[in-house]
Structure 1
């Protein structure tokens, strides 16, 4: 019986030590990651979103132009570069 208790005690000590070491390593690693990562954005600092406005005629025109542009690209009339240039031109107006 004393041998059994000694074995159980040794197992408990080893398991306790392993748990303590594992927890310490985890805390150190989390501290390092926290130093490397930028702080998460604060919800308090974010400005409120403006109320959603209905699409204007100008926005509807842009959407229609982009749809037509996409159709021309799908038909093979426009190359990828031409499509990107035209899309940039439409969206920058």
Structure 2
């Protein structure tokens, strides 16, 4: 009977250790993937709307609408949105 308990205890220790190692590896790999995704997102150049054409309130409104859509899609940050909006309105 003591040999059986020793075998059960050893199995429990090995299984617990394997689970702990597996969880740690999964967390590290997830963090590594998240950093790679962030680096790829940072490497992409932000999409900027086309410059304003000479004259026309319709052109300005169309550009502002496109800019708003880019912001709502998450392509532009709030700061980028404000910068481009002021550029369009002051052109």
* TM bin (shorter chain): 0.3 to 0.5
- Relative to its length, the structure with more helix (as a share) is 2
More RCO (CA 8 Å, sep 6+)? 2
- TM-score, normalized by length of structure 2? 0.43
The structure that has the greater radius of gyration is 1
